[in-house]
């Protein structure tokens, strides 16, 4: 995706205070390997995503629920389809725009919102529980489609 400065990232979230946002340093981000920018606030409960759509940048503010109760089990990320062996995925929820917080949608996602890095095998982690044979272009297209579906459900398009 296109490179953004830290200031540009901040401007995409005008409702957020800086300490709630804790944006990444735009200069330290490897934009060339990202289909979307996602990050988790140091508190662990808040997360944000910036998603390119047509000529715009759409934003998502997400609540992350820790996935550390009960026995470890594998979970697939709904955006990139990476299958995590245990605890590598977390539930992320977004309020549907225009519903005054009455409607919420959620997905199990890579817990650090690092889908783009995962589908390119750049995390240095073990491969997913169910390695796939489809090529990177298909994985990127599938991820982009999943992002659009989520944005649509969140009434952000």
Q: Residue 102 Cβ, how far from Zn ion at the closest point, in Å?
A: 27
* 62 binding Zn ion? (CB under 5 A): no
Residue 101: other Cβ atoms inside 10 A:
7
* 80 binding Zn ion? (CB under 5 A): yes
The pair phi, psi for residue 59, each rounded to 5°, is -120, 150
Residue 132 and residue 119: Cα distance in Å, rounded?
10
Q: How many residues bind Zn ion (CB under 5 A)?
A: 6
* Locus of tokens 């089990």: 73
CB-nearer residue toward Zn ion: 10 or 24: 24
Residue 134 and residue 105: Cα distance in Å, rounded?
28
Residue among 36, 39, 48, 79 that touches Zn ion (CB under 5 A): 79
* 146 binding Zn ion? (CB under 5 A): no
Which of 14-22, 31-39, 49-57, 81-89 is the region at the interface with Zn ion (rule: CB under 5 A)?
A: 81-89
Structure tokens belonging to residue 85: 């062996």
* 147 binding Zn ion? (CB under 5 A): no
CB-nearer residue toward Zn ion: 40 or 80: 80
DSSP 3-state of 42: coil
């Amino acid at each position: 995706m296109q490179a953004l400065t830290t200031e540009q990232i901040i401007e995409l979230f005008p409702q957020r205070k800086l300490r709630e946002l804790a944006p990444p340093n735009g200069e330290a981000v490897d934009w060339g390997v990202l289909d979307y920018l996602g990050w988790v606030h140091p508190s662990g409960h808040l997360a944000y995503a910036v998603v390119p759509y047509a000529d715009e940048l759409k934003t998502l503010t997400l609540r992350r629920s820790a996935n550390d109760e009960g026995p470890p089990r594998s979970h697939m990320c709904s955006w990139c389809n990476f299958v995590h062996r245990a605890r590598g995925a977390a539930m992320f929820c977004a309020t549907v725009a225009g519903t005054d917080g009455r409607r919420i949608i959620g997905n199990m996602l890579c817990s650090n919102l690092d889908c783009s890095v995962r589908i390119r095998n750049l995390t240095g982690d073990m491969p997913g529980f169910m390695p796939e044979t489809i090529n990177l272009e298909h994985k990127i297209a599938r991820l982009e489609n999943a992002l659009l579906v989520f944005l649509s459900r969140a009434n952000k398009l």
